Amino acid sequence: MSQTRETVVKEGIDQATVEMTRELETYKHGFITNIESEKAPKGLTEDTVRYISAKKDEPQWMLDWRLEAFARWKEMDEPTWAHVKYPAINYQDHYYYSAPKSGSKYESIDDVPPEILADFEKLGIPLREAEVLLGVEGAGQTPGEARTDAGVGGEGVARQKVAVDAVFDSVSVATTFKKELEKAGVIFMSISEAIREHPELVKKYIGSVVPTSDNFFATLNTAVFSDGTFVYVPPGVRCPMELSTYFRINEANTGQFERTLIVADKGSYVSYLEGCTAPMRDENQLHAAVVELVALEDAEIKYSTVQNWYPGDKDGKGGIYNFVTKRGDCREARSKISWTQVETGSAVTWKYPSCILRGDNSVGEFYSIAITNNHQQADTGTKMIHLGRNTTSRIISKGIAAGFSDQTYRGLVSVHRKAEGVRNFTQCDSLLIGDQCGAHTVPYIEAKNSSAVLEHEATTSRLSEDQLFYCMQRGLNEEEAVSLLVNGFCKDVLQQLPMEFAVEAQKLLEVSLEGSVG
């Protein structure tokens, strides 16, 4: 990201903050789309796995892989070490596959049911413009790079072009800008398609970062994943636009188990955005995704998430259980993987986007904002595993707990014996708003090489009364003031987000904190 752009984002945020706080609203993505859908029978057996695989026309190797995972999963116990509490999940009480009835995949955008399109319109991340979505064959075929940031913060905000893969409940419904990406050699499609069209690539990389039996939820995902996104950027290619997947859970009692695999071949670059929403429902819904990133020599992957699953109501009823395994493998020299996340949703979050720094001189980054309010619980953080020489990592985590929520940063920085010249810097700051919430920091630091330089700092505090008073003296109401200060607290992370997301994220911060003061 260029210097100018960073500045612009910062200014955009501060300016817009005040305005946006005026239109504070509750979870606005909580609408339910009425479309008929086709579901697998409730519950989870080997037959469910076979059903999903058959629905997707999968090759035998894929089915075998799923069945192996299912067999292992049955032997595994749900992890209990995270600092979260929730009633036992009955895995037989969920649907594991749900697809809009009109077909599992649309040839053109015209085939997408209008309800879904309308749905997208209501959303805004980042499909707010139907034009963009319809742009599959339409006007927006000029390279996204050409767009400027000139108008940011002002009236006609110029947008970067973003290619979108939308996953609705279990299946991918639309992928935009496919042609243009093809020209650049970038493969961007649903993982189901990729399994059929690029089996050699998928077979080579899937499960190579998160192995089948990695953990309870990842293993479950391997058995029943229904769709997700596949990206392959060929050697030397700088992906001409931001790629984005938008996940939405719609059906009641439906688990969503998407699988994302991104491979950046030698010397390539890709920036990927992920957004999530779900309707308001009284029951808890299960989400257990797996994301695998592979960066080869000199490649860079930037992965940004705005996670806004339904967090449940203010009494803690309903909401998504978000048990996600995200891991990046800097497999070769000088590769770089950067995770940025803004976590405002879900009733329970269990998520540790990690980097395995295998290649010499590779770089891992984790920038996180987690906001919990009401009765939300989040246990999130990262792992930086330094295996290669001169590998560096940077962790910036900002946690904000309000209401009755409980939040934990959990992180591991590990330096292996042969990893010379490792550097890590970690900064974890927690902010408590109100006296009924909790904020926790649990870092693990393991150093086995004397040349490592590891620094970790953590602080816990509350909003400064002085600053609050100052803002209010200038005319902001309390909520506006809190919002402004929280934005300041999160600035280091917000700056890492692509502009589209930064504005969205900042809006979400406000929505999430609503009702936390006064």
| CA angle 169–293–207, rounded 5-degree value | 75
Taking the least distance from each CB to another protein, the nearer of 98 and 408 is: 408
Taking the least distance from each CB to another protein, the nearer of 83 and 238 is: 83
CA distance 436 to 243: 39
x-or-dash string of contact with another protein, 402-441, rule CB under 8 A: ---------------x------------x-xxxxxxxxxx
What amino acid occupies position 57? D
Task: With contacts defined by CB under 8 A, name the span among 8-16, 124-132, 370-378, 451-459 that binds another protein.
Answer: 451-459
Indicate whether 442 belongs to the interface with another protein (CB under 8 A): yes
Taking the least distance from each CB to another protein, the nearer of 45 and 436 is: 436
Indicate whether 394 belongs to the interface with another protein (CB under 8 A): no
Which residues face 165 on adjacent strands? Answer: 175, 245
Q: What is the DSSP string of 175-206?
A: E-SHHHHHHHT-EEEEHHHHHHH-HHHHHHHT
| Angle separating helix axes 46-55 and 216-224, nearest 10 degrees | 50
Taking the least distance from each CB to another protein, the nearer of 60 and 81 is: 81
Least Å distance between CB 447 and another protein? 4
Residues 75-104 close enough to bind another protein by CB under 8 A: 81
Binding residue (CB under 8 A) for another protein from 137, 451, 472, 474: 451
Binding residue (CB under 8 A) for another protein from 102, 160, 253, 449: 449
Indicate whether 517 belongs to the interface with another protein (CB under 8 A): no
Indicate whether 458 belongs to the interface with another protein (CB under 8 A): yes
Check residue 498 and report its DSSP letter.
-
Count of residues in contact with another protein, rule CB under 8 A: 34
Least Å distance between CB 462 and another protein? 4
Indicate whether 385 belongs to the interface with another protein (CB under 8 A): no
Least Å distance between CB 442 and another protein? 5
- CB burial class (10 A; 0-12, 13-18, 19+) of residue 253? middle
Indicate whether 391 belongs to the interface with another protein (CB under 8 A): no
Binding residue (CB under 8 A) for another protein from 220, 293, 452, 485: 452
CA distance 164 to 176: 5
Q: What is the DSSP string of 349-403?
A: EEE--EEEE-STT-EEEEEEEEEE-TT-EEEEEEEEEE-STT-EEEEEEEEEEET
Least Å distance between CB 408 and another protein? 9
Which residues face 378 on adjacent strands? Answer: 349, 407
Pairing assessment for the beta strands 354-357 and 377-386 based on DSSP bridges: parallel
Indicate whether 447 belongs to the interface with another protein (CB under 8 A): yes
Least Å distance between CB 427 and another protein? 10
Binding residue (CB under 8 A) for another protein from 207, 381, 443, 498: 443
- For 62, 103, 160, 503, the CA distances from 56, given in Å and listed in that order, are 10, 11, 33, 37
Least Å distance between CB 443 and another protein? 6
Taking the least distance from each CB to another protein, the nearer of 268 and 392 is: 392
Q: What is the DSSP string of 110-161?
A: GGS-HHHHHHHHHH-SS---HHHHHTTTSS--S-GGG---TTTTSSS-----
Least Å distance between CB 344 and another protein? 20
Indicate whether 166 belongs to the interface with another protein (CB under 8 A): no
Task: With contacts defined by CB under 8 A, name the span among 181-189, 217-225, 306-314, 445-453 that binds another protein.
Answer: 445-453
Taking the least distance from each CB to another protein, the nearer of 63 and 445 is: 445
Q: Closest Cα partner for 38 from 18, 54, 62?
A: 54
Least Å distance between CB 214 and another protein? 18
Indicate whether 453 belongs to the interface with another protein (CB under 8 A): yes
Check residue 16 and report its DSSP letter.
H
Question: What are the residues binding another protein (CB under 8 A)?
Answer: 81, 417, 430, 432-462
